[in-house]
Amino acid sequence: MIKAAIFDFDGTLANTMPDLVITLNSMRAHFGYAPITEREVLRAVNNATPQFVRLCLPEDFDESRMEEAMSTYYAAYAIHYLDETAPYPGIADLLAKLRGDGVRLAVMSNKDDRHIKKMTQTLFPEAFDQMWGTVAGGPVKPNPARAFMIAKDFGVRPDEVAFVGDSDFDMITAVNAGMIPIGVTWGYRDAETLKSGGAAYLANSANALYQIIKSI
């Protein structure tokens, strides 16, 4: 029986891609670079923010300017992070049903912790018991350390936790933590990528995801 569920954010709970592209292109313009395409951004998404930003800059970018790049990115994202970002269809109802069933809920993302907390509280007010992004020196997926901490705080065993995400990083994290890996196919990675990461189940809609969680 599933007693808790940990959700990835980008590509799982909400489509954040339009605002990521806007932000990255604002940063790239600061350095005189041409705009980047959504396809190029997709190749870098799922990494922790510093790695994500670096992958969206040219290979020959001056590494001594990475601090400037990060501050420029964060300043732009603080303006644009909710311009077009929106929950995927059915997600709000899914979360409400799970909470009604007594399932504890958490967000665990490789996005910066400040943004994750603000975005989750804005888009899904009072839906989650815990919200975690990355902090300097802290673990990033697929390291399962944060997942273990969440399970411990919730008072549940890892095998009583559904780990829901749209990437192989999420599935590998779930496997590393001994949790139930559930991949969602509406996000940024395809079904084969999710399976290669160890997905035990695949959901193609929020309702299908609810049925999977309740069946375990």
Per-residue pLDDT at 195: 98
Same domain, 52 and 91: no
Structural domain that includes position 67: 17-80
98, 82, 80: which is closest to 90 by C-alpha?
Answer: 98
Cis omega (within 30 of 0) on the bond before 139? no
DSSP calls for 37-52? PHHHHHHHTTS-HHHH
Same domain, 109 and 68: no
Q: How many CB atoms sit inside 10 A of residue 93's CB?
A: 13
Domain count, the chain: 2
Same domain, 57 and 157: no
- In contact, 174 and 181? CB cutoff 8 Å: yes
Same domain, 11 and 49: no
Same domain, 159 and 74: no
Dihedral sign for Cα atoms in the order 177, 44, 129, 171: negative
Same domain, 64 and 163: no
pLDDT band at 47 (very low <50, low <70, confident <90, very high): confident
Rounded to an integer, the average pLDDT of 38-52 is 91
Q: What is the CATH number of the domain that holds 100?
A: 3.40.50.1000
Same domain, 185 and 174: yes
pLDDT in tens, 152-207: 999 999 999 999 999 999 999 999 999 999 999 999 999 999 999 999 999 999 99
What pTM was estimated for this model as a whole? Answer: 0.95
